[in-house]
Amino acid sequence: MEKLKLRDIIAEALEEDLGMGDLTSSFFAPDHISTGFFTAKADGVLAGLDIITETYRLLDERIEVDLYRQDGDRIEQGEDIAEAEGPTAPLLSGERVILNLLQHMSGIATGTKRAVEALHSSHTRVCDTRKTLPGLRMLQKYAVRCGGGYNHRYRLDDGVMLKDNHIKAAGGISRAVSQLRNELGLMVRIEVETETRDQVLESVESGADIIMFDNQAPPEVKQLVELVPDHIITEISGGITIDTIGDYRDTGVDYISMGSLTHSVTALDISFNLND
């Protein structure tokens, strides 16, 4: 993760949570020292451990953090993943921000790992989408990578994706691709979203770099992939879940993109408790 951007995200989260200060923890003297442990309360995959270090660095540089594990590690229920020692007030003041982000990111990593393992393919890769929470895209997409997934576009200026509304407004796939080729640099890839066999053939003929099959069942995907030359990347998206992703294992598609990796994530339960 980009450290400067991470600090900006954390600083904004702390400002939102702290307001003018933590009234509950304000009675602890500055020299009151405690030690606390971050502990997994469920099995999963970690993502976002730097959040612990960076949050406490912003709150009080006297706090020392010892990370027991690394991002991408599998963890088991009851396992301590990090220790923090320092002034009690900032230790407690940063707890909620840390847990909110750490649990969310680890939930994404855990869900991604489950999808990758359910697919169980040496060829097809699982990737995310732009269906992310505003302001948290960097963290969410990083968490997908921690879970063994890949990132699709980060922003709209990363590449072209012609969806149904673009195609309608432009007057067809061929016309849209042709116009974009004349305006964009040679390093920019063009992806076309298709819904029918004819659209796939038109996308191939127009010179698309990536062809996405939208909301297609495995048998249809296998047939459509055979229409696409090897130099064109193929992708499937739409309605695929961890329960159904394995059905696409032998279709030959290059990527499966899943918005649910980020927009429907279940947080991984993690706690923070001071030592007795």
Residue that wins the pLDDT comparison between 143 and 276 = 143
Is-contact 212 193, C-beta < 8 A? yes
Q: Provide the CATH topology of domain 3-111+266-274.
A: Aldehyde Oxidoreductase; domain 3 (3.90.1170)
Of 128, 193, 202, 235, the active-site residue reads 193
> Residue 48: is its pLDDT beyond 90?
yes
pLDDT band, very low/low/confident/very high, at 185 (cuts 50, 70, 90): confident
CA 26 to chain CA centroid, Å, is 36
Superfamily of domain 121-263: Aldolase class I (3.20.20.70)
Task: Please list the residue range(s) of the chain that carry CATH number 3.90.1170.20.
Answer: 3-111+266-274
Mean pLDDT in residue range 152-181 = 94
Asked if 137 is an active-site residue, the reply is no
pLDDT above 90 covers a percentage of the chain that reads: 93
Nearest by Cα to 170 from 144, 152, 192: 192
pTM of the model: 0.94
Positive or negative torsion for Cα 49, 55, 61, 63: negative
Asked if 214 is an active-site residue, the reply is yes
Task: Please list the residue range(s) of the chain that carry CATH number 3.20.20.70.
Answer: 121-263
Rounded CA gap, 259 and 248, in Å?
Answer: 16
Look at residue 100 in the predicted model and tell me its pLDDT. 98
Residue type, 51: I
Nearest by Cα to 166 from 150, 157, 179: 179
Of 96, 125, 189, 222, the active-site residue reads 96
Asked if 193 is an active-site residue, the reply is yes
The neighbouring-strand residues paired with 190 are: 160
Is-contact 48 10, C-beta < 8 A? no
Residues 6+ apart with CB under 8 A from 221: 213, 236, 248, 251, 253
Asked if 31 is an active-site residue, the reply is no
Mean pLDDT in residue range 88-100 = 97
The neighbouring-strand residues paired with 256 are: 126, 236
Of 7, 57, 131, 222, the active-site residue reads 131
Of 62, 163, 175, 197, the active-site residue reads 163
